[in-house]
Structure 1
Amino acid sequence: MAYMDLSQAFAGGAALATAQPAAETPSTGFSGIEWTVIGLAAKDSLASLGEPGRLSRALGGLFGLGASSKLADPRLEALRQTAVQAWHHGYLLPASEIGRFIAAGFSLDQFETLLASISRRRQTRRKRITA
């Protein structure tokens, strides 16, 4: 069985995980669990951001489909939602998303770090696909 080392997956993730205790992160960095949430958000669809409708809930209950991808921790859920939008839209995020991100306890520097990291990862993926 293979395992993916997510601490190495993003720019700065491994350095931050080893240089800072989990409870303390610099204003521009993220903890290891936060980098993991950002990485996992790449696989979430934009539909995961909204509440499921009545039909979706009914079919999910009937067939066991449509498990929620929302996180229990509100701060991490805000990070996941911002990361999902960044993975799909890059730098073209609504201004309300910045406000929600900051209201969750993150800084504007962290927002910029998030967008820059995801942008680099998106460019790397495009290069691999076109090559």
Structure 2
Amino acid sequence: MSRDTVLTAFSELKNRGIINSTGGKGYYVVNNNIRIQSKVFLLFDELNAIKEDLYKALIRYLANEVQIDVFFHHYDQQLFADIIKKNLDTYNYYVIMPANLRDIEACIDLLEDDKVYILDQLRPRIIKIFCSLSRL
């Protein structure tokens, strides 16, 4: 097998959440549910009735082929940044609700534009990122 073929396969399995890697140790299986086609990162400010309804709607619509992982930043700017940085290149899509946090654009810029969906009040810099997404 070609090295590129193997690396592409590892990358696909990692994106689907089936394997993970540890530097110096290699790859290992973390989820044996091979039906999962995509992983979605969902970052809310807090849990309330609206966010719960949104989460339930996503689960209903995407349930069988998508794994949705929910995170909360609780209006803490550092926690927001830490959560995003810790989960770079781990998900197929990032759904983010930044709320009224300031200076978070640099964190959002770390993510690939075609994988990001922003839900919430949009400030000028975030609007620019959001509008640049070609799929919308």
Per the TM superposition, whether the score is higher than 0.5 is no
* Alignment TM class, shorter chain as reference: under 0.3
Q: Could you state the TM-score of these two structures normalised by the residue count of structure 2?
A: 0.27
Structure 1 or 2: more strand by fraction: 2
Structure 1 or 2: more helix by fraction: 1
Q: Could you state the TM-score of these two structures normalised by the residue count of structure 1?
A: 0.27
Higher relative contact order (CA 8 A, sep 6+): 1
